[in-house]
Amino acid sequence: MTDKLIIFDTTLRDGEQSPGASMTKEEKLRIARQLDKLGVDVIEAGFAAASPGDADAINSIAKVIERSTVCSLARASEKDVRAAGEAIKPAKHGRIHTFIATSPIHMQHKLRMSPDEVVSRAVQAVKWAREYTDDVEFSAEDAVRSDIDFLVRIFDEVIKAGAKTLNVPDTVGYSIPLLWGERFKQLIARVPNSDKVIWSTHCHNDLGMASANSLAAVMNGARQVECTINGLGERAGNASLEEIVMAVKTRRDVFTCDTNIDTTQIVPTSKLVSSITGYPVQPNKAIVGANAFAHESGIHQDGVLKHRETYEIMRAEDVGWGANKLSLGKLSGRNAFRTRLQELGIVLGSEDALNAAFARFKDLADRKSEIFDEDIQALVSDEEVTQLSDYFRLVSMGAHSETGKLPVARVIMSVGGKEHQADAQGGGPVDATFKAIEQIVKSETELLLYSVNNITSGTDAQGEVTVRLAKGGRVVNGQGADTDIVVASAKAYLNALNKLDTGMDRAHPQV
Ligand code: KIV
Ligand code: ZN
């Protein structure tokens, strides 16, 4: 008999806490639909009290997702819990996840509360949450550095108040598998009625052990794992969903539980999250990295050709590699385009948006012979970005580089509807383009990151550029895609400027 292991995905909440990874409502909806298709049990859709925009995004996700449970995070305060309760109200299955820190260092320096006050706030928060839903989760933030006797006490009290899932986070990524497994064993043995609740693990990756620690918890009784796609998340990230799911599936001899995940959706979900957040996946990343199933050395290739299992413990097709269909071509019409969008779970807001996306598709098909699903995702993202905010918009540009000469670029762009032109020289065509843009906008931003990745293979592939800009304490990622990477770079830079221009202030749950 195998138990069910609940997969709680927090890409849209803890993942979004990565620098610059904040997403628009439309982007969150696209990821939520894909997570539902992937088969995650719980989607943590955000932190409702962060801002009215965050509450609205959770509410919109709650309206459309039918299978997965939709959850909002809430600090242990009445305002937060009620904001979460309202946001998840339309959900078919809704959860409130409330938390408070329990370690001496957090209680003393961050909360400035006594242990007794912390227990009573936790109990009260769970009771408020139960006014909205029976599905209430409680987390003891920084459980890794909390006193075990205090954890037993607070968990006992919140169970009595009505919590159904108890989450034990390694907030700072400090534990090691042996100790994390032991912590679960002790908690489950000591907390009264521990068999009436689901025990959950939430691990950060500061020492590179988030997945290993999560799996140690599972081996010691945890039946929910909190994780993110591609391990996205605060600092070094969270436990990565794909690693947890595939470890449990591949090592059936060790784990007595299994998940509901449709593993063939793992790679498409990874690519979608990477393209929306602007966080590329490292090539040697387990499961979803481009090299995860590539065999470079001759000996390995020979072995794999003779008998696949000599060097492969999983099949690439089982996690969704190779599933990227040759979607459409130059001759595909509007209806074929619309149908493929539907199959990909992409819902465009209006006929106008569909027409604009179709025009972009035709333009791309003129420059690229084969259009893949990833190309369509990228052009829809590009179109959404333009529709939402185009205060700074690229009208046209040209760049020239020649050996022995300084590269030059000319940019014509619109600023709030008015056209401007600038010419600049730079170290390379991208540098010259950014300098030309800056001559016009004078943004005084700091460029923190510039990266280019190919969306599909081949020299005619679209390049996807991420530009991370910082100004006045705010950090944003801008993305742009084009078969010409200098144009993609200009689009990404303007996208980041637009985000800085329109972004609103949001509260961080853990600060
Ligand atoms: O890492 C953490 O402790 C969290 C909590 C809010 C669950 O993300
Ligand atoms: Zn976390």
Q: What is the mean pLDDT of residues 52-57?
A: 97
pLDDT surpassing 80 at residue 155: yes
Q: Whose CA is nearest to atom 2 of ligand 1?
A: 171
233 C-beta closer than 6 A to ligand 1: no
Cα 219 from Cα 247, distance rounded (Å): 12
75 C-beta closer than 6 A to ligand 1: no
Give the distance (Å) from ligand 2 centre to CA of residue 439. Answer: 40
44 C-beta closer than 6 A to ligand 1: no
Looking at the 3D structure of the chain, how many domains does it have? 3
491 C-beta closer than 6 A to ligand 1: no
Decide if 415 is inside a domain.
yes
Q: What's the pLDDT at 351?
A: 86
Atom number in ligand 1 closest to CA 142: 3
Decide if 297 is inside a domain.
no
- Residue 374 shares a structural domain with residue 397: no
- Residue 116 shares a structural domain with residue 243: yes
Give the distance (Å) from ligand 2 centre to CA of residue 510. Answer: 9
Atom number in ligand 1 closest to CA 204: 1
Cα 63 from Cα 56, distance rounded (Å): 11
Cβ atoms within 10 A of the Cβ of 448, count? 15
Instruction: Please write the tens of the pLDDT for every residue from 301-356.
Output: 666 667 777 888 999 999 998 755 556 777 888 888 888 888 777 877 788 888 88
- Residue 223 shares a structural domain with residue 210: yes
Q: What's the pLDDT at 504?
A: 59
Residues around ion ligand 2, judged by CB within 5 A, are 14
Atom number in ligand 1 closest to CA 167: 7
- Residue 100 shares a structural domain with residue 81: yes
Give the distance (Å) from ligand 1 centre to CA of residue 171. Answer: 6
Instruction: Please write the tens of the pLDDT for every residue from 385-417.
Output: 666 678 999 999 999 999 999 999 999 999 999
238 C-beta closer than 6 A to ligand 1: no
Q: What is the mean pLDDT of residues 32-60?
A: 97
- Residue 263 shares a structural domain with residue 360: no
Atom number in ligand 1 closest to CA 99: 6
Q: What's the pLDDT at 299?
A: 63
Domain boundary among 337, 354, 384: 384
In order, the DSSP letters of 283-336 are: TT-TTTSTTTT---SHHHHHHHHH-GGGT-SS-GGGGTTT---EEE-TT--HHH
pLDDT surpassing 80 at residue 430: yes
Query: What letters, b where the CB count within 10 A reaches 16 and e where it falls short, cover 254-289?
Result: ebebebebebebbbbbbbbbbbbbbbbbeeebebbb
Cα 135 from Cα 156, distance rounded (Å): 17
pLDDT surpassing 80 at residue 229: yes
Decide if 292 is inside a domain.
no
Q: What is the mean pLDDT of residues 169-177?
A: 98
Q: What is the mean pLDDT of residues 284-308?
A: 78
Here the tokens at position 384 are 């959404």
- Residue 366 shares a structural domain with residue 394: no
Listed in order, strand segments (DSSP E) in 150-222 are 165-170, 198-203
Contacts of 112 (CB under 8 A, 6+ apart): none
Instruction: Please write the tens of the pLDDT for every residue from 188-211.
Output: 999 999 999 999 999 999 999 999
pLDDT surpassing 90 at residue 159: yes
Q: What's the pLDDT at 307?
A: 75
Decide if 306 is inside a domain.
no
Decide if 175 is inside a domain.
yes
Strands 165-170 and 198-203: parallel
Give the distance (Å) from ligand 2 centre to CA of residue 35. Answer: 19
Q: What's the pLDDT at 473?
A: 86
Atom number in ligand 1 closest to CA 10: 8
Decide if 109 is inside a domain.
yes
- Residue 55 shares a structural domain with residue 116: yes
Listed in order, strand segments (DSSP E) in 48-135 are 69-75, 94-101
pTM for the predicted model, two decimal places? 0.89
Instruction: Please write the tens of the pLDDT for every residue from 240-277.
Output: 999 999 999 999 999 999 999 999 999 999 999 998 99
Give the distance (Å) from ligand 2 centre to CA of residue 445. Answer: 29
Instruction: Please write the tens of the pLDDT for every residue from 439-483.
Output: 999 999 999 999 998 888 788 888 999 999 999 888 999 989 999
Strand partners, 215: none
Phi, psi (5° rounding) for residue 140?
Answer: -100, 95
- Residue 130 shares a structural domain with residue 154: yes
Give the distance (Å) from ligand 2 centre to CA of residue 237. Answer: 8
- Residue 405 shares a structural domain with residue 334: no
CATH code for position 470: 3.30.160.270
Instruction: Please write the tens of the pLDDT for every residue from 57-107.
Output: 999 999 999 999 999 999 999 999 999 999 999 999 999 999 999 999 999
Q: What's the pLDDT at 296?
A: 59
201 C-beta closer than 6 A to ligand 1: no
- Residue 378 shares a structural domain with residue 406: no
Domain boundary among 352, 384, 416: 384
240: buried, middle or exposed (CB in 10 Å: 19+, 13-18, 0-12)? buried
Domain boundary among 354, 384, 414: 384
263: containing domain = 3-277
Decide if 510 is inside a domain.
no
Can you tell me whether residue 432 is helix, strand or coil? Answer: helix
Atom number in ligand 1 closest to CA 226: 7
Instruction: Please write the tens of the pLDDT for every residue from 121-135.
Output: 999 999 999 999 999
Test site for ligand 1: of 141, 146, 174, 200, most ligand atoms within 8 A of the Cβ: 141
Q: What is the mean pLDDT of residues 30-34?
A: 95
Q: What's the pLDDT at 388?
A: 65
The pLDDT mean for the chain works out to 92
169 C-beta closer than 6 A to ligand 1: yes
Segment holding 57, helix H or strand E: helix 52-64
Q: What is the mean pLDDT of residues 491-508?
A: 84
CATH code for position 11: 3.20.20.70
Q: What's the pLDDT at 42?
A: 98
Q: What's the pLDDT at 1?
A: 57
Decide if 285 is inside a domain.
no
- Residue 345 shares a structural domain with residue 434: no
Q: Whose CA is nearest to atom 5 of ligand 1?
A: 141
pLDDT surpassing 70 at residue 182: yes
171 C-beta closer than 6 A to ligand 1: yes
pLDDT surpassing 80 at residue 238: yes
Amino acid at 283: P
- Residue 232 shares a structural domain with residue 217: yes
